[in-house]
Amino acid sequence: MCRFIESIKLLDGVFYRLESHQKRMKICFDLFYPEANRPDLQSALNDSHPPQTGLYKCRVTYDAKIRKIEYLPYRKREINSLQVVEVRIESLPYKKEDRSDLERAFAMRGNFDEVLLVKNGFLTDTSISNIALFDGSSWVTPSNPLIYGVNRANLIEEGKIFEKDILLDDLKNFSHIRLFNAMIEFGDIELDTDNVHL
């Protein structure tokens, strides 16, 4: 059985979106470990002596129970260009520890900073983030991403982004694209769609 991860933002001793991470762990336990006792993420993290200053990615590795909690200093990558890459990666409601399929896609970026993934003609994500595109009045995010991120779920719930099927051919109808994940806030990385290379 493979292992799973949650990557949680920790800034100056405060964990971000912990409730959403717990919900995603619940989905994973319901699917793979329905008989196991689900760990309480808040308690486990409190017991792990988290750093109290600075920005960290808290990486929780688990299967039927939490196996490891790591705190990795975090620095946002500079992303100014995207290469479109066609993939056949399975869409999942949880995060696998094994990222080899996404790493293979990332390796196809050529001279660009990151990949914009397309599956069956529809936009999905990048190798590290969910995406949203601006149509002149609102931000829309692909209905079927490869990873159902916690930040994405919160943004939809707050009405800041809206789900929609977005064909690669529709890219011309959008002016900007934003990349976001558990560590990258909505608006931290924004590119003109002219910087997406087919």
Q: Which pLDDT tens digit goes with each residue over 7-27?
A: 999 999 999 999 999 999 999
Three-class secondary structure of residue 22 per DSSP: helix
Q: What is the pTM of this model?
A: 0.92
What's the gap between Cα 39 and its chain centre?
A: 22
Residue 91 has pLDDT above 70, yes or no: yes
What pLDDT band is residue 2 in, cutting at 50, 70 and 90?
confident
Structure-token pair, residue 113 = 């900073």
Q: Which domains does the chain have, with CATH numbers?
A: 4-73 (3.30.470.10), 82-197 (3.20.10.10)
Q: What is the pLDDT of residues 108-132, one digit of tens each?
A: 999 999 999 999 999 999 999 999 9
Contact 197, 115 (CB under 8 A): no
Tell me: pLDDT of 1 over 80. no
DSSP E strands, the chain: 4-11, 14-15, 55-62, 66-73, 82-86, 114-119, 122-126, 130-134, 139-142, 162-164, 176-180, 189-192, 196-197
Distance from C-alpha of 168 to C-alpha of 129, rounded to nearest angstrom: 17
Question: Within 13 Å and on the Cβ side, how many CA atoms surround 5?
Answer: 14
